[in-house]
Amino acid sequence: MKKLTTILIIFLFFKTIPCHCQQDTSQIAIPRIDVQGHHQFSTKEISKTIPPGRYSTAQLKKAIDQLLQKYSQEGYYFTRINASDTTDHLLLKINEGPQLHLKQIHIAVGDSLVKSQIESFLDIRQKASVVGTINFNVEQILQYLENNGHPFCKVFVDSLILIPWIDSTKIILDCHLTLNLGPEVTIDSIVVQGNNLTQRQVIVRETRIKIGELYNYNKVKRIRDRLMRTGLFNEVYEPEITLDTENGGYLIINVKEGNPNQLNAVVGYNPSTNTREKGYLTGLIDVAFGNLLGTGRVVEAYWTKKDRRSQELKFHYVEPWVGGYPIFLGGGFQQTIQDTSFIKRNLLLEINLPFSDLLTIHSNFGKEDVLPDSIGQILYQLPKSSSWISRIGFSYDTRNDILNPSQGILYQTQFEYAHKKIVSARDSCQNLDQPGNFRRERWGMDLEIYLPTFRWQTIFLGLHGRQVRSNEKFVSVADLFRFGGIGSLRGYREEEFLGEKIAWLNLEYRYLLASRSRVFLFFDSGYFQYRDQKTQSVENYKYGYGFGLRLETRLGIIGIDYGIGEGRGLTSGLVHVRLTNRF
């Protein structure tokens, strides 16, 4: 609903500026300006507003009006300026007049309780001008009333009384306002229009509005952002409030549903690094049903082939609003086959709590099993283990769009604690701890910043860091972080690098072609460090650069990234093709 505002016009001065010109020409030459009678502004400040030069009569009048405006902003509404020109200078005779001061704002309203509450927050300290001070207080009154059940309130200026001061250097102003509160409105019903798939109660609960509560403009104006963040709608229009014959409030919400389900498919080609083997394809398929049966439930399935011998499989489910509260309960399963030498399985239970519209608390609990085969135990010195895991973290998101943001930030951080039990180790694993209990800790941080520059252009900066610590002799290869590839360090194979400490930076300059399309140049840089059983410590820096695009088509959003790693030629880059389809 649009806010009601009151525009106050206190004084309107029409000034006649006498200017004498020796000839009937359209230009007046002013080589110098002399000023008399000024105290509020210095000659230098006045000369900045009316600098020497050539002026037409209209231009000179406009410049003097700008000077009068500067005086009015300081409360000198009664200033008069007489301008006359000679052959060698312009003379400005200024009569500044008294300064106007706002003494008091009087409120007339039928409800004495409302009057006392409004008078408690009125602020008559001088703002940019007296007009600005009055407008500021009128805005405060309107906001208070609209947030306390009076969306149809009005403010009228009854009178402005001028009182001359004793020494004639200033004039006191008393402002009298009358308030028309309009009916007190409670929200008796929420009407949803435009929803074909999403159930009405799903939309109503996301508004966080309770039936029977007083109308509150601040809560109502947040409805659009809340619904858009669900990802279920292409557009949510500004809610409107209407009244029935008994002054009952009907909140009307119009939505335009989008396609909540999503399919991501990625194909990558890794060229051969030697003559003994050929290049190979990698791939990813990610299917998400984001509004199952119109209830807001989420089901996801994910599969990826990272390299010749590694792949990953995930299933995930989220139940929203458990027990009628904004609590999101989820569960999932993940299995990773790494280099065909060991399998890692994870079962987890997660609880997400939206603390506010921007801040969400994340927590999950689960069990992790590492099952190496005989080659994995010998090659990676990897024992069989089982761990109980708990994680806690939060995310803060102010992005204006999830798929193609132009401004805002996304910050996420997470801490993980694991109680790890080594079940068995082969005799050949001489450098590792024998069966027993150990602890493992992990930290993670992700920061994405979107800075708009020129129109349709933005800079994206991503900063990411991970660290793992354990009281084992060496951190297991199954516990190390892996990075590289499309999601972190482009120009390298997927998960090409691993480490106990890793960090990477993504820098992109984007040109937004449309709401879901863009082209960009990128530069990525990464760092990793870990302790090797032989060399004790290994660390390195890598970088990559290239270009990419995201293009919305009838098939979906097609993404192409071409990345070139450090020391590689232009023709040796890695190509990743992505298709995101919403259905």
Domain CATH for 377: 2.40.160.50
- The last residue of a domain, from among 180, 212, 240: 180
Which of the two residues, 278 and 171, has the higher pLDDT score? 171
What's the pLDDT at 564?
92
Give the least confident one: 123-132, 220-229, 349-358, 424-433: 424-433
Give the least confident one: 63-72, 141-150, 262-271, 441-450: 262-271
What's the pLDDT at 166?
66
Is the residue at 8 inside a domain?
no
Is the residue at 245 inside a domain?
yes
Express each pLDDT in 254-311 by its tens digit: 999 888 888 887 777 767 766 777 777 777 888 888 888 888 899 999 998 877 788 8
pTM of the model: 0.71
- The last residue of a domain, from among 117, 146, 180: 180
Q: What is the mean pLDDT of residues 548-577?
A: 86
Q: How confident is the model at residue 10 (pLDDT cuts 50, 70, 90)?
A: very low
- Assess whether 357 and 371 both reside in one domain: yes
Q: Domain containing 244 — which CATH number?
A: 3.10.20.310
Give the least confident one: 151-155, 395-399, 489-493: 489-493
Structural domain boundaries enclosing 491? 262-582
- Assess whether 245 and 277 both reside in one domain: no
Which of the two residues, 302 and 245, has the higher pLDDT score? 302
Which of 358, 290, 364, 295 is closest to 334 using CA atoms? Answer: 364
- Assess whether 88 and 103 both reside in one domain: no
What's the pLDDT at 273?
66
Residues 6+ apart with CB under 8 A from 76: 40, 96, 97, 98, 99, 100
Q: How confident is the model at residue 11 (pLDDT cuts 50, 70, 90)?
A: very low
Average pLDDT, the chain: 85
What's the pLDDT at 432?
56
Q: How far apart are CA 561 and CA 547, in angstroms?
A: 6
Secondary structure percentages of the chain, helix, strand, coil, to 5? 15, 50, 35
Is the residue at 498 inside a domain?
yes
Express each pLDDT in 60-113 by its tens digit: 888 889 898 888 888 888 899 988 877 678 888 898 888 888 888 999 998 889
180-184 contact pairs (CB < 8 A, 24+): 180/153, 180/154, 180/155, 180/156, 181/109, 181/110, 181/111, 181/114, 181/145, 181/150, 181/153, 182/150, 182/151, 182/152, 182/153, 182/154, 183/150, 183/152, 183/243, 183/247, 184/149, 184/150, 184/214, 184/247
Express each pLDDT in 517-541 by its tens digit: 999 999 999 999 988 766 678 889 9
- Assess whether 469 and 504 both reside in one domain: yes
Q: What is the mean pLDDT of residues 328-348?
A: 91
Is the residue at 14 inside a domain?
no
Is the residue at 453 inside a domain?
yes
For residue 581, give both structure tokens: 């389809």
- The last residue of a domain, from among 237, 257, 277: 257
Number of domains in the chain: 4
